[in-house]
Homo-oligomer: A and B are copies of this chain.
Amino acid sequence: MVTVIKIGGNIIDNPAELEQFLTDFSKIEGPKVLVHGGGKSATKMAQNIGLEPQMIEGRRITDAPMLDVVVMIYAGQINKNIVAQLQAKNNNAIGFSGADGNLIQSVKRNHPTIDYGFVGDVKQVNTNLLKTLLDNHIVPVFCAITHDKDGQLLNTNADTIASELSIALSEIEEVTLTYCFEKQGVLQDSEDDSSVITAINEELYLKLKEDKVIHSGMIPKLDNCFNSLSRGVQKIKIGHHKMLQNPDVLHTTITL
């Protein structure tokens, strides 16, 4: 069984939280993969050097100077510090972008109306190399940078990287994919953090969408989950990272 865990900016931006998460993550037994998002430091760095971050529909437009910044911050600063911390906790971590070992090849997004810039949609995962690494007790740590195999680095959504890695790995082993975020899971009432829906399958999801219990930002997140499940991932969990140290902590488990 392979454990794939994705952490987002809320953990990355808080050193104490990150330290706690990495301690819990380091104790997970068996093959595991960590995928991390970016947090606020790329935006901060862009501002520091006078770039204006551009967003369209909540997505960052990645022009060439912004790509430089996200590569520096995601693949450099954040990734290497996480790797060094995991090494201190005796996890043999290696940090990767998708370019490394051609692990995640993507295609520059070609949208009919919006030019996203240097943004890549995942095309294929080098499952053989990933398996060789896991067999050698390596803990891969992925940042959200991929490449087009033609020399161009590309910015790619970290949730997508986590799901594509999980789908690829599910061809060879059972995979549990965990998305850690600031809430405890999918909530019945978005104002009440204790109203966690602990299990969702496709049937319930359709009903919850119809009843508008699940709405806005949670819809693409859950669509992405059901896409991963239908493509082979066995189980997906969504919740706060404290569930890693204490399995009694409420969270949402998603299955087909």
Contacts and interface: CB of A to CB of B under 8 A. Distances in A.
B77 A72 contact: yes
Interface of A (DSSP majority class): helix
Nearest to A83: B99
Interface size on A, as a range, is 35 or more
Interface string A68-92: 1001111111011101110110001
Contacts of A99: 80, 83-84, 87, 93, 95
A71 B77 contact: yes
Interface stretch (A31-39, A143-151, A209-217, A230-238): A143-151
B97 A101 contact: no
Q: How many copies does the complex hold?
A: 2
Interface of A: 45, 48-49, 68, 71-77, 79-81, 83-85, 87-88, 92-97, 99-102, 129, 132, 136, 138, 145, 147, 149-153
15 contacts: A71-B76, A71-B81, A76-B77, A80-B99, A80-B145, A81-B153, A84-B99, A84-B147, A84-B151, A87-B102, A87-B147, A92-B101, A93-B99, A95-B100, A101-B138
